[in-house]
Amino acid sequence: MNLNIAILIILMVAALWTTMTRSLLRAAIGLAFMSLALTLIMFRLNSGLAAVFELSVCAGLIPVLFVSTISLTHPLTKQEVMQHMKDRIRRFWYLPLIIVIAGIALSFITVTLNIKLPPKEAEESVRAVLWNGRPLYLVGQIIVLLAGAFGVVILFKESEEK
């Protein structure tokens, strides 16, 4: 349990880093670290397959997407950077304060959740759940992937025409 808390704290620090760092590139790297910490939590909570997906897609593919987007947009001039820095400090310095206060306040709350857990069943494998129990999830995933592919094609087709 203590190791879980340590990993959760790393996750929180990575999230704060992602939000507060000035450089977008560093923010994308912070996002990858967040996914890495979440992967460790998933492995520790017996969710190995989802952890592998998280590691490959969220810690691998999505930061690469962000980095390529950042490299395709023009960097700010030195004057703009200085202006943005002052602006950012003014807007973002509240966040760590809010998080610390929220964390302390929430940790003092004694919760009485009346959760009724379902009866224990024989654990199925993820494959069995996805293919036999919830085939519509797969259909939905295929539709979403196709919609995304068509969306990207349409977006770049328009920009070529321009």
Partner 1 sequence: MEVVQIFWPFLLFVIMLFIIGIYCIAITFNLIRALLGAEILIKAITLLVIVAGFISGRTALAQAVVISLIVVEAVSITVAVGIVLGIHGHNNSLDTRKIADTDK
Residues 65-124 that bind partner 1 (CB under 8 A): 65-66, 69-70, 72-74, 91-92, 94-95, 98-99, 102-103, 106-107, 111-113, 115, 117-118, 120-121, 123-124
Build a one-symbol-per-residue string for 133-152: x at contacts with partner 1 by CB under 8 A, - elsewhere: xx--x--xx--xx-xx--xx
Instruction: Name the one residue in this structure whose structure tokens are 């977006």.
Output: 155
Establish if 10 lies at the interface with partner 1 (CB under 8 A).
no
> Is residue 15 close enough to count as binding partner 1 by CB under 8 A?
yes
- Cβ atoms within 10 Å, residue 86: 9
> What backbone phi and psi angles, to 5 degrees, belong to 75?
-70, 160
**Considering CB under 8 A, how many residues would be counted as binding partner 1?**
78
Residues 30-49 that bind partner 1 (CB under 8 A): 31, 34-35, 38, 41-42, 45-47, 49
Kindly report the number of other CB atoms within 10 A of residue 63's CB atom.
Answer: 20
Dihedral angle of Cα 36, 37, 43, 46, to the nearest 10 degrees: -130
